[in-house]
């Protein structure tokens, strides 16, 4: 990981637990969409868990699933760990996964039915998107989904707020940027995943469901 910030918002903390105001707003709507799609007993690998708020919201709504959080940022992993007591055995110990590392998927402790990644691909170089897609192609079983949540561009139909956010990101780092959905889809297609569903979410965000046939 570089020494660049891992988020661009004012977070607060209580002990190791970090609080993201954005995640507080989006975790409920995300859980409403994702939780019903996970079958009892299934395990989801989350990439870039951040504070852990979204993981907790989803497993609070799907009481019979397992959740494997991960983040390359140690403070984020420490924050996620503060939730383990609230969901013992179902919320697994967070892993240190950086999807730009070669073959990052090769040494994981178990298999996963689905994957989830929120707000990472715009605040990381495109190599992270490529690594995420490659890993999803390697890890997911037939019928497995990876859900991407966050802002996306839709060509001429892009939301102005996302175009403005894109400019702000690029000022920070020219390798960052809100991704065009038409840029993202072929990268996953090359890894063997089809775009199954695009769901509009509050504040011009979307959930993109990519499925292994
Ligand atoms: C804006 S935060 C989003 C956190 C959380 N998913 C959310 O939506 O609140 C971006 C996260 O991506 C993680 N990240 C950045 N580069 C990464 C990489 N190469 N592999 C995995 N995670 C990465 C950061 O550590 C950070 O936790």
* 22 is a domain residue: no
Q: How far apart are CA 153 and CA 95, in angstroms?
A: 30
Give the CATH number for residue 104: 3.40.50.150
Q: Does residue 2 surpass a pLDDT of 60?
A: no
Structure tokens at 96: 């240190």
Q: Identify the band that residue 13 occupies on the pLDDT scale cut at 50, 70 and 90.
A: confident
CA 7–ligand 1 middle distance (angstroms): 7
Residue 8 lies in a domain: no
Q: Which atom from ligand 1 is nearest to the alpha carbon of 46?
A: 6
Distances (CA, A) of 187 to 127, 133, 194: 11, 7, 10
| CA–CA distances in Å: residue 86 to residues 74, 83, 152 | 20, 5, 33
Whose C-alpha lies nearest to ligand 1, atom 20?
Answer: 98
Cut 0.85: pTM above it: yes
Q: State the total domains in the chain.
A: 1
In a domain, 37, yes or no: yes
pLDDT at res. 74: 97
Average pLDDT over residues 188-211: 98
Residue 74 covered by a domain: yes
- 98 pLDDT band, cuts 50/70/90, is very high
* Cβ burial 68-99 (10 Å sphere, 16+ → b, else e): bbbbbbeebbbbbbbbbeebeeebbebbebbb
> What is the C-alpha separation between 55 and 196, in angstroms, rounded?
22
Domain range enclosing 44: 28-211
Mutation probe of ligand 1 site: the residue of 30, 31, 50 with most atoms within 8 A of C-beta: 50
Closest CA to ligand 1's atom 21: 98
């Amino acid at each position: 990981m570089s020494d660049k910030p891992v988020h661009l918002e004012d977070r607060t903390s209580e002990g190791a637990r970090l609080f993201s105001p954005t995640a507080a707003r989006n975790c409920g709507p995300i859980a409403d969409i994702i939780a019903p799609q996970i079958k009892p007993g299934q395990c989801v690998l989350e990439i870039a868990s951040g504070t852990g708020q979204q993981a907790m919201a989803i497993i609070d709504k799907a009481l019979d699933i397992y959740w494997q959080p991960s983040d390359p940022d140690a403070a984020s992993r420490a924050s996620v760990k503060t939730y383990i007591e609230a969901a013992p055995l179902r919320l697994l110990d967070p892993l240190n996964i950086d999807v730009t590392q070669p073959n990052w998927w090769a040494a994981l402790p178990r298999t996963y039915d689905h994957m989830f990644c929120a707000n990472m691909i715009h605040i990381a170089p495109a190599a992270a998107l490529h690594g995420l897609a490659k890993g999803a192609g390697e890890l997911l079983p037939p019928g497995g989904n990876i859900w991407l949540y966050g802002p996306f561009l839709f060509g001429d139909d892009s939301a102005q707020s996302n175009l403005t956010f894109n400019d702000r990101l690029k000022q920070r780092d020219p390798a960052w940027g809100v991704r065009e959905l038409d840029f993202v889809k072929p990268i996953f297609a090359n890894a063997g995943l089809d775009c199954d569903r695009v769901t509009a979410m509050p504040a011009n965000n979307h959930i993109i469901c990519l499925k292994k046939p």
